[in-house]
Amino acid sequence: MLSSSWNLSIFSSLFGILILCIPCFSEKAPYYTFARDATSAPEVVFFDYIVIGGGTSGCALAATLSQASNVLLLERGGLPYGNPNITNINGFTRNLADTSPSSPSQLFISTDGVFNHRARVLGGGSAINAGFFSRASNEYVKRMGWNPEVVNDSYEWVEEKVAFRPQINQWQSAVRNGLLEVGVRPYNGFTYEHLDGTKVGGSIFDQQGHRHTAADLLEYADPIKISVYLYATVEQIVFRTRGGKKPRAYGVRFQDSEGNSHLAFLNRGSKNEVLLSAGALGSPQMLMLSGIGPIRQLNAHEINVLVDQPMVGMGMSDNPMNAVFVPSPNPVEVSLIQVVGITGFKSYIEAASGPLELDWMRRMAHDFTRVANQTMDSFKIPSVITIPGINPHLLHSPMQAGLILEKVAGPYSTGFLELASKDPNENPVVTFNYFKDARDLQRCVHGMRTVAEVIDSTSFSNFRYPLTTSQALMNTMLTFPLNLRPKHLTASVSFEQFCIDTVMTIWHYHGGCQVGKVVDGDYKVFGVDGLRVIDGSTFIESPGTNPQATVMMLGRYMGQKILGDRLAGRRN
């Protein structure tokens, strides 16, 4: 989808120029010289590029652009470094359970009744996720119109900093062997590539269990040419309108943590731009707050209409996840996603393991609903969990357990996003319409059948209590407070109803600013100049088994393209 004017020869020339431009030094995290609290920002600043959002795409984008231009990166959260819930694999669930106002993981609940999270930290989703690192398929790259050689180089640039080969221990090995036993073949070993069958993927957790986030990509940045303001909440993109011409973005207004307002303007020059990388919730929200969106919504919130764009906020999707907790008679390692079964019916089977605290799960669910001002009175975990074949006293808290899940690829089902208010700190209202398209439901059914087969497999027998069946474990899932959706008696005998009733997020939501609908093939926003959206909100479907590698790659990829156009303009 990128313009044909940017070909491999231009990339090669740009690469040579950038090699000469790269400074003989860089700065290691946590970037004391260029990452500062926004309270220290001047009232007015000027840059060549202003990147809104220091997430998985924004960090890669800003680091790349800084090699040949002056860049401002605005992040509404703080640094990921020094927070053990972020930096250590054992803090994964605690991080998601934190509902405090300054949490790196901002809770939201979709109108579908599913708990979800939005990153609020430098590094974005890579600072709060389960860490799986896997590339998009070659077919996906082709559909997007990306240059495969530049895509490959961009992936490698990312992987050099943040991707690792995980150590596969007993639980993950049992899942891998179970997948092969039930026919998810061939075995592809360790690879970042998206290949049908079973494989071991990469992880942003190293072998010591330390997380490496997209914020680490700022080690590539020229510390002289980049400024990062933390706890900087962008309120609005500002535009200049001149008779007969399209509005042009020329700056942003942002607020620091003390409520002080600041202005960041673009330097003079036709190549300077505002680059929106605030994610699938933040980017469509920011366009609307800036006057670009459905006129009905803008008028309802008394926002001056710059461009009536009905497709902003449309096409929202979240890949549905359904899972089964498996109590283990033997100790299990702490592991997040490492092994994946990529099936022919477009469902991905993955697993995690570690001590499971049922009391903690109940408290977390009540915290979530309290924040959302809702109730889960009908979804309380029983004081004693009963699973046929297991002595209830063995199911103490914490207990040794694992999780086997399936994620629906795509998905086909889509929803929409609407503003809740004009406050940029308030989450928008999102509807994902899980399983609205029957094809997604059938994929889930196939996926859950495969999960059940893995649990019942010989390969997995050491981690399953004798006489305990996958059906019994699935029935137990119906007693857990997984979401706010009603539970039906038929869910215990119907895979379809089980999928609908126990659906959860795997945090791969996307859409809202899709290519061809809100932005063009170069990610430029229709109807205005000087503004692009470069993040997962532009995706029609989620890439591969996990999008984070591709979102980071996209930031690098588009950063090079933008600089290539800039340098080509200078030569002309």
Residues near 422 by Cβ (< 8 Å), separated by ≥ 6? 289, 301, 302, 303
d(CA 451, CA 535): 32
* Cα–Cα separations (whole angstroms), residue 54 to 76, 356, 562: 8, 32, 18
d(CA 274, CA 252): 8
d(CA 469, CA 479): 17
Start-to-end Cα distance in the chain: 24
CB 315 within 8 A of CB 512: yes
How much of the chain is in helix, strand and coil states, percent to nearest 5? 35, 25, 45
Q: Is 366 a catalytic residue?
A: no
Q: Which residues pair with 132 in a beta bridge?
A: 203
Residues near 304 by Cβ (< 8 Å), separated by ≥ 6? 291, 298
Given 194, 446, 508, 510, which residue is catalytic? 508
Instruction: Indicate if the alpha-carbon torsion angle 511, 340, 505, 98 is positive or negative.
Output: negative
* Cα–Cα separations (whole angstroms), residue 95 to 65, 86, 127, 552: 31, 7, 9, 22
Indicate the annotated binding residues for FAD: 56-57, 75-76, 121, 234, 507-508, 536, 547-548
Q: Which residues pair with 232 in a beta bridge?
A: none
Packing angle between helix 148-162 and helix 548-571, nearest 10 degrees?
120
Q: Which residue has the tokens 């890949």?
A: 319
d(CA 200, CA 156): 18
d(CA 511, CA 284): 9
Instruction: Indicate if the alpha-carbon torsion angle 189, 194, 197, 200 is positive or negative.
Output: positive
Based on the number of CB atoms within 10 Å of its own CB, is 279 exposed (0-12), middle (13-18) or buried (19 or more)?
A: buried
Alpha-carbon dihedral 60, 62, 66, 67, rounded to 10 degrees? 20
Which candidate, 382, 391, 353, 398, places its Cα nearest to that of 480? 382
Catalytic residue numbers, as ranges: 508
